[in-house]
Amino acid sequence: MQYTAGVRRTASVLAAAAAAAALMTGCTPSGDAGAAGEPSQSVQSPVPGATAGGSGAGGTGSAKPAASVSPTVSGGKAKPCTSDDVKVTEARQAAVRPPGTGTGAAIVAVANVSKSTCTLQGFPTVAGAGNGSPDKNVPLTTAHSGSATLVSLAPGARAWTKLTFVNVQGEADGYCESGATPASFPTLVVGVPGAGAHQTALDDGVLALCDNKATVTAYAATKPS
């Protein structure tokens, strides 16, 4: 019958359409297969300068803490003495001094009064303190005797210098061989290289000298005579 044949053709067309639809359901455009059923994944661009395991900007690793570094002075050596580290602890006439009736020569000691070792090196400066006031200093012209070496001072240790003056001659007020007028000062102002100037008095009298000159030795660990 024509009716039956038409039904069969219609059924065949419907079946073919259904099969085509089924095939289309399992396909997606190229490169996106499975995208509908899987979560999306973001990719982070590498941060310039970041290293694996580092915690730079955008990094996810944990950074190792920086090592603690304690500052050292001069490669671990003792620091130079400062004005707060040292103090004049002795100033007396030297046993060996030029002949005359003035002071002649003086031995001066500076001690490390701090709680740590420090170093000093060099020659002292010398001035007479006019009227006992360091603000009225009369600087002496100094000549250096010998060479300077580094002196390491432990707490309480001393360094020494010897000051030799142009001595006053004669009795009473005396006189200077140069014809200058003798000078006298109740106190001295002694400089320590890098550690300031320190005022001190001789333990036996005042400083009396000629020509405002002195010959000085460098600070040393050995007490001069």
Running along the chain, 225 residues long, what does each successive block of 10 average in pLDDT? 42 44 40 38 33 35 38 62 95 94 95 96 93 76 96 97 95 88 92 94 91 96 93
Q: How many CA atoms lie within 13 A of 65 on its CB side?
A: 3
Written as six digits, the tokens of 81 are 């003495």
Topology (CATH) of 79-217: Immunoglobulin-like (2.60.40)
pLDDT on residue 32: 40
In this prediction, residue 77 carries a pLDDT of 78
**H or E element at residue 156:** none
Q: Where are the domains of the chain?
A: 79-217
SS3 of 21, please?
A: helix
Angle subtended at Cα 84 by Cα 201 and Cα 106, rounded to the nearest 5 degrees: 25
Strand ranges, E, within the chain = 79-80, 86-93, 105-112, 118-120, 126-129, 137-139, 141-145, 151-153, 158-166, 183-185, 187-191, 197-200, 207-217
Question: How does pLDDT run across 113-127, given as a tens digit for each residue?
Answer: 999 999 999 999 999
Rounded distance between C-alpha atoms, residue 131 and residue 141, angstroms: 19
Eight-class DSSP state of 132: G
The answer to whether the beta carbons of residues 197 and 88 sit under 8 Å apart is no
Residue 162 Cα to chain centre, angstroms: 31
| CA gap 193, 23 in Å, rounded | 98
Q: What CA–CA distance (Å, rounded) separates 5 from 56?
A: 77
Query: Is-contact 115 184, C-beta < 8 A?
Result: no
